[in-house]
Amino acid sequence: MFFSGSVKYAVDSKGRVNIPARFRNQIQLGDDSEGLMFYVTSGGKTPCLFVYPPRVFEKMAEKMEDEIGPILDPNENMPTYTELMASAEACRCDNQGRLIVPKKHLEWAQISGEVVIIGLGKRIQLWNPRLFEQYIRKSSIPA
């Protein structure tokens, strides 16, 4: 599974975001009665949301947990792991392929009305279009 490309979609009043079919098709659906699921997290210091397929998120979380050390004597990575797990929420797509994103996540990323959906390897990012443009301009190296 590998996500790439970008698309701009509307966000409806219920916080539903249409995940592009080319992204949905890369993920095994499992039990169709329960629908397609993703983990949604805040972007930490980046003003976006990260959207992970379950297997990718669970593997990443396991690796981070192993790297923080013993629970009674964790290393300096414990705050990052804690922040990730505290913001993570399992979210399902409805039968029309719209991801139901929690309101708190949309507010944190300042997403309303429109969203830019970016394929970023094993994960997807959701951005406020204005913030995404600012991020790209700020990050670009002058020619």
Summarised one tens digit per residue, pLDDT across range 59-83 is 999 998 888 877 777 788 888 888 8
How many C-alpha atoms does 129 have within 13 Å on its Cβ side? 11
Cα angle, residue 85 at apex, residues 82 and 86 outer, rounded to 5° = 80
| Cα–Cα distance, 9 to 19 (Å, whole number) | 9
Average of per-residue pLDDT across 2-8: 94
DSSP-assigned letter for residue 37:
E
By DSSP bridging, strand 114-121 and strand 123-127 are antiparallel
Q: What is the mean pLDDT of the chain?
A: 87
CATH for 3-139 is 3.40.1550.20
- Res. 28 pLDDT band, cuts 50 70 90: low
Closest CA to 12 of 95, 101, 124, 91: 101
